[in-house]
Amino acid sequence: MPDPKFRQRDPRFANAHRHRRATDRHKQQYKPTRRCFGPRDFKYEPATQRLICPAGKRLYGTGREVSTAQGYLVSHYKAAKGACLNCPLRGRCLRHPESGNPRQVRVFHGRVTETLTSRMRDKIDTPQGRAIYSRRLGTVEPVFANIGAQKGMNHSTLRGTLKVNTQWRLFCLVHNLEKIGRYGAQRN
Protein backbone atom coordinates (compact mmCIF):
# COMPACT_ATOMS: atom_id res chain seq x y z
CA MET A 1 0.00 0.00 0.00
CA PRO A 2 1.60 3.36 -0.97
CA ASP A 3 2.24 5.90 1.77
CA PRO A 4 1.85 9.46 0.40
CA LYS A 5 3.40 11.08 3.49
CA PHE A 6 6.50 8.85 3.53
CA ARG A 7 8.91 11.63 2.54
CA GLN A 8 7.39 14.15 4.95
CA ARG A 9 8.22 11.88 7.91
CA ASP A 10 11.65 10.85 6.59
CA PRO A 11 14.43 12.81 8.35
CA ARG A 12 16.63 12.52 5.25
CA PHE A 13 14.24 14.84 3.38
CA ALA A 14 13.89 17.43 6.17
CA ASN A 15 15.89 20.04 4.22
CA ALA A 16 14.57 19.12 0.77
CA HIS A 17 12.65 22.41 0.45
CA ARG A 18 15.90 24.37 0.01
CA HIS A 19 16.73 22.46 -3.20
CA ARG A 20 13.59 23.53 -5.04
CA ARG A 21 13.86 25.71 -8.11
CA ALA A 22 12.03 29.01 -8.34
CA THR A 23 9.52 27.40 -10.72
CA ASP A 24 8.55 24.90 -8.01
CA ARG A 25 7.27 27.55 -5.59
CA HIS A 26 3.72 26.25 -5.91
CA LYS A 27 4.95 22.97 -4.39
CA GLN A 28 6.39 24.67 -1.32
CA GLN A 29 4.24 24.61 1.75
CA TYR A 30 2.02 27.57 2.42
CA LYS A 31 2.82 29.06 5.80
CA PRO A 32 -0.02 31.24 7.01
CA THR A 33 0.50 33.98 9.53
CA ARG A 34 -1.16 32.46 12.57
CA ARG A 35 -3.62 34.87 14.07
CA CYS A 36 -5.56 32.64 16.45
CA PHE A 37 -4.30 30.66 19.41
CA GLY A 38 -4.07 26.95 18.66
CA PRO A 39 -4.57 23.96 20.97
CA ARG A 40 -0.83 23.96 21.76
CA ASP A 41 -1.17 27.38 23.41
CA PHE A 42 -3.50 25.92 26.05
CA LYS A 43 -1.92 24.23 29.07
CA TYR A 44 -3.37 21.03 30.51
CA GLU A 45 -3.81 20.89 34.28
CA PRO A 46 -3.82 17.18 35.29
CA ALA A 47 -5.03 17.74 38.85
CA THR A 48 -8.32 19.35 37.80
CA GLN A 49 -8.39 17.85 34.28
CA ARG A 50 -8.95 21.27 32.75
CA LEU A 51 -7.21 23.43 30.17
CA ILE A 52 -5.79 26.85 30.98
CA CYS A 53 -6.10 29.43 28.18
CA PRO A 54 -3.35 31.99 27.41
CA ALA A 55 -5.31 34.59 29.44
CA GLY A 56 -5.29 32.30 32.50
CA LYS A 57 -8.98 31.25 32.39
CA ARG A 58 -10.02 27.61 32.86
CA LEU A 59 -11.79 25.59 30.21
CA TYR A 60 -13.87 22.70 31.49
CA GLY A 61 -14.34 19.33 29.83
CA THR A 62 -17.70 18.87 28.14
CA GLY A 63 -17.63 15.16 28.89
CA ARG A 64 -17.48 14.27 25.21
CA GLU A 65 -14.66 11.91 24.32
CA VAL A 66 -14.82 10.68 20.76
CA SER A 67 -12.74 8.22 18.77
CA THR A 68 -12.06 9.38 15.22
CA ALA A 69 -11.98 7.13 12.16
CA GLN A 70 -8.16 7.18 12.32
CA GLY A 71 -8.26 5.78 15.87
CA TYR A 72 -7.46 8.93 17.87
CA LEU A 73 -9.15 9.74 21.18
CA VAL A 74 -10.39 13.35 21.24
CA SER A 75 -11.52 15.32 24.31
CA HIS A 76 -13.64 18.47 24.01
CA TYR A 77 -13.13 21.50 26.26
CA LYS A 78 -15.16 24.69 26.46
CA ALA A 79 -14.72 28.02 28.24
CA ALA A 80 -17.44 29.61 30.33
CA LYS A 81 -19.34 32.25 28.38
CA GLY A 82 -18.64 34.97 30.94
CA ALA A 83 -14.90 34.23 30.93
CA CYS A 84 -14.55 34.94 27.20
CA LEU A 85 -16.84 37.98 26.83
CA ASN A 86 -14.50 40.60 28.36
CA CYS A 87 -11.19 38.85 27.71
CA PRO A 88 -8.44 41.14 26.33
CA LEU A 89 -7.13 38.28 24.13
CA ARG A 90 -10.53 37.55 22.56
CA GLY A 91 -9.38 38.88 19.16
CA ARG A 92 -6.48 36.43 19.02
CA CYS A 93 -8.38 33.52 20.54
CA LEU A 94 -11.51 33.36 18.37
CA ARG A 95 -11.89 33.46 14.61
CA HIS A 96 -15.07 35.51 14.97
CA PRO A 97 -14.65 37.55 18.16
CA GLU A 98 -17.83 39.55 17.42
CA SER A 99 -19.95 36.46 18.07
CA GLY A 100 -20.94 35.74 21.65
CA ASN A 101 -19.64 32.18 21.54
CA PRO A 102 -16.93 31.04 23.98
CA ARG A 103 -13.75 29.25 22.92
CA GLN A 104 -13.83 25.50 22.33
CA VAL A 105 -10.73 23.32 22.08
CA ARG A 106 -10.28 19.71 21.00
CA VAL A 107 -7.30 17.79 22.36
CA PHE A 108 -6.01 14.68 20.59
CA HIS A 109 -4.64 12.19 23.13
CA GLY A 110 -3.23 9.56 20.79
CA ARG A 111 -4.33 6.34 19.19
CA VAL A 112 -6.77 4.14 21.00
CA THR A 113 -7.00 1.48 18.36
CA GLU A 114 -4.33 0.49 15.94
CA THR A 115 -5.28 0.67 12.27
CA LEU A 116 -3.66 -1.23 9.41
CA THR A 117 -2.21 1.97 7.98
CA SER A 118 -0.76 2.98 11.37
CA ARG A 119 0.89 -0.45 11.69
CA MET A 120 2.30 -0.09 8.19
CA ARG A 121 3.54 3.43 8.99
CA ASP A 122 5.29 2.18 12.13
CA LYS A 123 7.04 -0.55 10.11
CA ILE A 124 8.10 1.85 7.36
CA ASP A 125 9.58 4.36 9.81
CA THR A 126 12.21 1.87 11.00
CA PRO A 127 15.59 1.90 9.17
CA GLN A 128 14.96 -1.59 7.77
CA GLY A 129 11.46 -0.57 6.67
CA ARG A 130 12.80 2.52 4.86
CA ALA A 131 15.27 0.37 2.94
CA ILE A 132 12.57 -2.10 1.90
CA TYR A 133 10.02 0.60 1.02
CA SER A 134 12.51 2.59 -1.08
CA ARG A 135 12.96 -0.46 -3.34
CA ARG A 136 9.26 -0.20 -4.18
CA LEU A 137 9.99 2.89 -6.28
CA GLY A 138 12.06 0.85 -8.70
CA THR A 139 10.11 -2.41 -8.76
CA VAL A 140 6.38 -1.90 -8.26
CA GLU A 141 5.62 1.69 -9.24
CA PRO A 142 6.90 1.43 -12.87
CA VAL A 143 4.53 -1.50 -13.43
CA PHE A 144 1.52 0.54 -12.31
CA ALA A 145 2.72 3.52 -14.37
CA ASN A 146 3.08 1.36 -17.50
CA ILE A 147 -0.32 -0.27 -17.09
CA GLY A 148 -1.98 3.06 -16.34
CA ALA A 149 -0.27 5.40 -18.80
CA GLN A 150 0.74 3.13 -21.69
CA LYS A 151 -2.06 0.58 -21.61
CA GLY A 152 -4.81 3.00 -20.58
CA MET A 153 -5.94 1.12 -17.46
CA ASN A 154 -6.54 4.23 -15.34
CA HIS A 155 -9.89 2.86 -14.21
CA SER A 156 -11.84 -0.30 -14.79
CA THR A 157 -14.45 -0.28 -17.56
CA LEU A 158 -16.38 -3.17 -15.99
CA ARG A 159 -18.47 -3.59 -12.87
CA GLY A 160 -18.33 -6.30 -10.26
CA THR A 161 -15.38 -7.80 -8.41
CA LEU A 162 -15.05 -10.84 -10.63
CA LYS A 163 -15.06 -8.82 -13.86
CA VAL A 164 -12.68 -6.16 -12.54
CA ASN A 165 -10.25 -8.83 -11.30
CA THR A 166 -10.40 -10.54 -14.70
CA GLN A 167 -9.74 -7.27 -16.50
CA TRP A 168 -6.82 -6.46 -14.19
CA ARG A 169 -5.30 -9.91 -14.72
CA LEU A 170 -5.56 -9.49 -18.50
CA PHE A 171 -3.72 -6.16 -18.35
CA CYS A 172 -1.03 -7.74 -16.13
CA LEU A 173 -0.76 -10.65 -18.56
CA VAL A 174 -0.22 -8.24 -21.47
CA HIS A 175 2.39 -6.35 -19.43
CA ASN A 176 4.29 -9.56 -18.64
CA LEU A 177 4.08 -10.82 -22.24
CA GLU A 178 5.57 -7.52 -23.42
CA LYS A 179 8.45 -7.95 -20.98
CA ILE A 180 9.09 -11.49 -22.25
CA GLY A 181 8.88 -10.30 -25.85
CA ARG A 182 11.20 -7.35 -25.26
CA TYR A 183 13.84 -9.00 -23.09
CA GLY A 184 13.38 -12.65 -24.12
CA ALA A 185 13.88 -15.63 -21.92
CA GLN A 186 16.87 -15.13 -19.65
CA ARG A 187 19.58 -17.69 -20.31
CA ASN A 188 22.20 -18.73 -17.79
Give pLDDT, residue 166.
96
- 109 and 148 share a domain? no
- 45 and 108 share a domain? yes
Position 71 in a domain? yes
Position 74 in a domain? yes
- 42 and 104 share a domain? yes
Position 130 in a domain? no
- 41 and 109 share a domain? yes
- 55 and 99 share a domain? yes
Task: Give CA separation, 61 vs 67, 72, 130, 140, in Å.
Answer: 16, 17, 41, 48
Give pLDDT, residue 170.
95
Position 24 in a domain? no
Find the domain containing 168 and state its range: 144-183
Nearest to 51 by CA among 111, 102, 100, 110: 102
Position 103 in a domain? yes
Give pLDDT, residue 32.
61
| Domains held by the chain: number | 2
- 66 and 108 share a domain? yes
Pairing relation of β-strands 50-52 and 43-45?
antiparallel
- 47 and 102 share a domain? yes
CA–CA distance, 140 with 1 (Å, rounded to integer): 11
Give pLDDT, residue 34.
58
Give pLDDT, residue 81.
84
Nearest to 150 by CA among 109, 123, 179: 179
Give pLDDT, residue 162.
96
Q: pTM of the full predicted structure?
A: 0.47
Position 188 in a domain? no
- 109 and 45 share a domain? yes
- 106 and 150 share a domain? no
CA–CA distance, 77 with 59 (Å, rounded to integer): 6
* DSSP state letter for 41: G
Backbone φ, ψ for residue 135 (5° rounding) = -70, -20
Position 166 in a domain? yes
Position 169 in a domain? yes
- 62 and 106 share a domain? yes
Digit-by-digit pLDDT tens for the chain (188 residues) are: 667 777 778 777 777 766 666 665 565 565 666 578 888 889 988 888 888 999 999 898 888 788 887 778 888 999 988 888 888 888 888 888 888 888 899 888 777 667 788 888 888 889 898 888 888 778 888 898 999 998 988 888 899 999 999 999 999 999 999 999 988 866 65
